[in-house]
Amino acid sequence: MTELFDYFDKFLKLSDNTKKALAELCSNVTIKKNDTLQPFGHTCKTIYFLKSGIARIYYYKDGTDITECFAFEGNIIARVESLFTGKPSQKAIQILENAEIIAINATQLFKLYDTYPQIERLFRLIFETAYVDTLNRIEGIQFHSAEERYLDLLKRTEIVQKIPLKHIASYLGITQVSLSRIRATVK
Amino acid sequence: MTELFDYFDKFLKLSDNTKKALAELCSNVTIKKNDTLQPFGHTCKTIYFLKSGIARIYYYKDGTDITECFAFEGNIIARVESLFTGKPSQKAIQILENAEIIAINATQLFKLYDTYPQIERLFRLIFETAYVDTLNRIEGIQFHSAEERYLDLLKRTEIVQKIPLKHIASYLGITQVSLSRIRATVK
DNA sequence: GTGATTATTTATCATTTGTTAAAGGAATTC
DNA sequence: GAATTCCTTTAACAAATGATAAATAATCAC
């Protein structure tokens, strides 16, 4: 669990008994490439932390598979729109590279918010950061060409190389053909 | 202040003394069309609630004025990226239609988080909702044409009619010429 | 390894949006 | 109310991306 608490530490220093309470909600999951971590249609009740591997959140739009986001080693991933609204998620989580994951039981987590204000604060800070990242992503989508966005993604994580092109294309909001064309000119 | 507390009520029922503490951070502001509510370069320390009027957050990108978002009657507006990071904001808030505003002192607000967990929770819920809205906006930008996005914006608020075209265009991520063309075909 | 499946590239043409420039309207100032 | 400025539309052409189809390349199952 060290990796997870190191991650938490970056947001807020937790007291020992808060850490202990949190640790009780966590369980380890090992899951293989291409497997589904969370299926469509269920209300999201888990927040995941990736110790290793790659995951993506995706959904179907007019029959095509769209990747909403990727998550890499050392980051958390959750279907926020369901977690916060309590509505069933129209999105699924799939593993793209064999992963070691810590699953945090969100139902129990939210219950701890009353007893441990530190925990409520921790996750408030985590999601505030994610919110700001999302605002910046909008700027990226609206004011950069597909080529710029692709190069930017490459710059952020070279691990992207391991991900099938179609997922990267739908994440960037373009077709796979278009991305392939871009890569040809960039090389 | 009734409008503001009605707004809060939709997220969380507050106790009377919590409301009283909150009310002490609030002040009324009357501001005219085209005036600047918050300039560039300062760290954002205020959250605004619009009792009436229209406001927008904007910034300059390569010399052009870009509208990040609009706010209408009954909604809050804040430069979140500065509020949450404590860094100076590269964005400004401008009034587009004469407005009656309640200004919430965020510095004092954050201090109350320790004493009134209800207040921390209230704003956590408010911003969680805003976060989910932002995620949905990304979907809109990536998978709908400019025309669809324009019609969708019109559907959400007819007040948009009052806003100069250039602001709507930059909000939608297209040029003013392009938006004008779209409006010509839609009519 | 061979065949089958899946992923990626390439090519062609259509559509959308951007860029630039100019013209017509609306609003504001004096 | 005339002049000025700002806002919106129109037009012509360029660039980026989409759609479809076909050709390679890579991967997987047996």
pLDDT digits (tens, 9 = 90+) for A7-32: 999 999 999 999 999 999 999 999 99
Interchain contact, B61 vs A143, CB within 8 Å: yes
Residue among A40, A169, B47 nearest A160 (CA): A169
Q: Estimate to the nearest angstrom the gap between the alpha carbon of B112 and the chain centroid.
A: 23
Residue A40 lies in a domain: yes
Q: Estimate to the nearest angstrom the gap between the alpha carbon of A110 and the chain centroid.
A: 19
- Mean pLDDT, residues B108-130: 97
Of A127, A141, A173, the CB nearest to B128: A127
Residue B123, pLDDT score: 98
Does position B158 have pLDDT exceeding 80, yes or no?
A: no
Residues of A in contact with B141 (CB under 8 A): 138, 141-142, 173
Residue B91 lies in a domain: yes
**Domain total for chain B?**
1
Q: What are phi and psi for residue A131, nearest 5 degrees?
A: -65, -45
- Mean pLDDT, residues B137-141: 90
B43 touches strand C (CB under 7 A): no
B80-110 pLDDT tens trace: 999 999 999 999 999 999 999 999 999 999 9
* Angle value at C-alpha A91, between A65 and B145, nearest 5 degrees: 55
**d(CA B97, nearest CA chain A) in Å:** 25
Residue-averaged pLDDT of chain A: 93
Q: Stated in angstroms, how far is A40 CA from D28 C1'?
A: 27
Among A124-133, B150-159, B163-172, which stretch is predicted with the lowest mean pLDDT? Answer: B150-159
Residue B104, pLDDT score: 98
> What would the two tokens of residue B42 be?
């300062």
Give burial (CB, 10 Å; 0-12/13-18/19+) of A140.
middle
Q: Which residues of B touch A (CB under 8 A)?
A: 61, 66, 68, 80-81, 84-85, 113, 117, 120-121, 124, 127-132, 134-139, 141-143, 173
A179 touches strand C (CB under 7 A): yes
Of B61, B80, B173, the CB nearest to A132: B80
Residue A31, pLDDT score: 92
Residue A33 lies in a domain: yes
Residue B134, pLDDT score: 94
Interchain contact, A128 vs B130, CB within 8 Å: no
Residue A28, pLDDT score: 96
Range of the domain at B105: 2-115
**d(CA B165, nearest CA chain A) in Å:** 17
Q: Are strands B26-31 and B92-105 parallel, antiparallel or unpaired?
A: antiparallel
Residue-averaged pLDDT of chain B: 93
Of the pLDDT bands very low, low, confident and very high (cuts 50, 70, 90), residue A63 is: confident
B141 touches strand C (CB under 7 A): no
B44-78 pLDDT tens trace: 999 999 999 999 999 998 888 999 999 999 999 99
Residue A102, pLDDT score: 98
Containing B29, the helix (H) or strand (E) segment is strand B26-31
Q: Stated in angstroms, how far is B97 CA from C1 C1'?
A: 74
CA atoms within 13 A on the CB side of A96: 22
Residue B57, pLDDT score: 95
Q: What are phi and psi for residue A169, nearest 5 degrees?
A: -60, -50
**pTM to 2 decimals?**
0.94
Residue A29 lies in a domain: yes
Residue A64, pLDDT score: 87
Contacts for A67-75: CB closer than 8 Å, 24+ residues apart: A67/A167, A67/A168, A67/A170, A67/A171, A68/A171, A68/B135, A68/B139, A69/A171, A70/A96, A70/A157, A70/A160, A70/A163, A70/A167, A70/A171, A72/A157, A72/A159, A74/A3, A74/A7, A74/A50, A75/A7, A75/A49, A75/A50
Of the pLDDT bands very low, low, confident and very high (cuts 50, 70, 90), residue B187 is: low
Cα dist from A156 to A131, A152, B109, B110, whole Å: 18, 6, 35, 32
Among A54-63, B27-36, B38-47, B152-161, which stretch is predicted with the lowest mean pLDDT? Answer: B152-161
Residue B14, pLDDT score: 96
> Based on C-alpha coordinates, what's the Rg of chain B?
17
- Give the bases of strand D that a protein CB approaches within 7 Å: 7-12, 16-21
Residue B70 lies in a domain: yes
- Mean pLDDT, residues A77-88: 96
Give burial (CB, 10 Å; 0-12/13-18/19+) of B145.
exposed
Does position A186 have pLDDT exceeding 80, yes or no?
A: no
Residue B82, pLDDT score: 97
Residue that is written with structure tokens 């939608």 in the block:
B172
Who wins on pLDDT, B8 or B60? B8
The b/e string for B47-69 (b: 16+ C-beta within 10 A; e otherwise) is bbbbbebbbbbbbeeeeeebbbb
**d(CA B149, nearest CA chain A) in Å:** 13
Q: Stated in angstroms, how far is B28 CA from D10 C1'?
A: 45
Residue B105 lies in a domain: yes
Of the pLDDT bands very low, low, confident and very high (cuts 50, 70, 90), residue A143 is: confident
- Which residue has the closest alpha carbon to D15 C1'? A145
For the domain that residue A54 is a member of, what is the CATH number?
2.60.120.10
Residue B141 lies in a domain: no
**CB of B107 closer than 8 Å to CB of B46:** no
Of the pLDDT bands very low, low, confident and very high (cuts 50, 70, 90), residue A187 is: low
Give percent of chain B with pLDDT exceeding 70. Answer: 99
Q: Which residue of A has its CA nearest to B142?
A: A173
**d(CA B28, nearest CA chain A) in Å:** 27
Of the pLDDT bands very low, low, confident and very high (cuts 50, 70, 90), residue A158 is: confident
| Inter-axis angle of helices B176-186 and B165-172, nearest 10 | 100
Residue B75 lies in a domain: yes
